[in-house]
A = this chain, B = another copy of it.
């Protein structure tokens, strides 16, 4: 029981203790956690000597004294656990801190007074394609249901290196891109504003821990040591650009214009009660992908949309992190199998996560079956792809009530594309 007020249905119960970076108006960003609606300054807690556990006591220098979580993330699970349980104790009813009003005033800021920032300086970003429902739907759209799955898909977690510079935090507006497109019926490509702007519902794994040496793959059964925690990830996608550019080297401008993450990194420790077994894989994975325990987490994922005409957010998609074929541990093992060194601060996207039903499809291309079956909103408005002024929000949480462990939101609004004149000057 926390002594801080935790509103009903808060994502941020004392069972959560996610990690982020926040700032007050005109203030410097600081590492933080959140309980209920109270943002807790971890730099202050550290400065005041509250992180005095056996591991942190032996560290020669401060961990939370900069505007990102990279130093913390570069430690290891025992350190992460120690900080988490110390925070839980500190904010428990009856703790010493509860009656130390002076300390509390320095440490706590109401959430409405802070702004979030990217929690880490991201090293590199890789996006996978690991939900079977999604891969099957996309393949069916492109090649028909009989050839939906590419032959390599069941053997390895397919992925591509993405762009980290354009990863932005929840709430950042997204400008509709320009790009080259070519309709299947057109003779030639054209240069145009994107007409098939889409989102992708994903979970991002924040990589932590000491890097593996170049040339030394990470073993799949040790890979979870490298997972600091998770965020929600919206991999915005320009479908018309993608289909023209992606042969033979993969998606590029269709993906690199923006990806949005939710502000608070939820730890594996917080999600542990929601761990679920994944179905056995067939064919059996190669030795480097063979897990002793093939799992994911039961995290409910939702997508909501608001339009200029009907700004109230309307929930239209529900999916779940349990719909993964390849686990995060397998993604890590595969990413390093040829020897790639995986660094703390890297971000791995799960790939779009789709459920088994239509309202579980994790992007509009799937939901509208490539722009054929419109999403019909309560207002009567229809969407095949995103339009200017649309607001797209993703949410995710596990558990209920006092046990709820949530991610907050991952939201972005579509701005109109640049005017054509931009390219003529």
Contact = CB atoms under 8 A, between A and B. Distances in A.
Contacts of A346: 165
A225 interface: no
Contacts of A258: 214-215, 339
B178 A337 contact: yes
A252 B159 contact: yes
A166 interface: yes
B253 A251 contact: no
Number of copies: 2
Contacts of A160: 160-161, 249-250, 252
A306 interface: no
Interface stretch (A42-50, A83-91, A150-158, A370-378): A150-158
Chain A interface size, under 10 / 10 to 19 / 20 to 34 / 35 or more: 35 or more
Interface stretch (A7-15, A28-36, A101-109, A237-245): A237-245
A171 interface: no
Interface string A338-367: 111111001000000000000000000000
Contact of A253 (B182, B250, B254, B334): B334
* Most B C-beta atoms less than 10 A away, residue of A159, A166, A238, A249: A249
A342 B150 contact: no
A399 interface: no
A180 interface: yes
B155 A180 contact: yes
A contact patch SS: loop
A315 interface: no
A179 B253 CA distance: 28
A167 to B, nearest CB: 10
A175 B337 contact: no
A245 B164 contact: no
B177 A339 contact: yes
A346 B163 CA distance: 11
9 contacts: A160-B250, A163-B340, A165-B211, A166-B339, A178-B337, A215-B418, A219-B425, A253-B335, A288-B423
Interface of A: 123-124, 129, 150-152, 155-156, 158-166, 168, 175, 177-180, 182, 188-189, 191, 194, 211, 214-217, 219, 238, 241, 244-254, 256-258, 283, 286-288, 334-335, 337-343, 346, 415, 418, 422-425
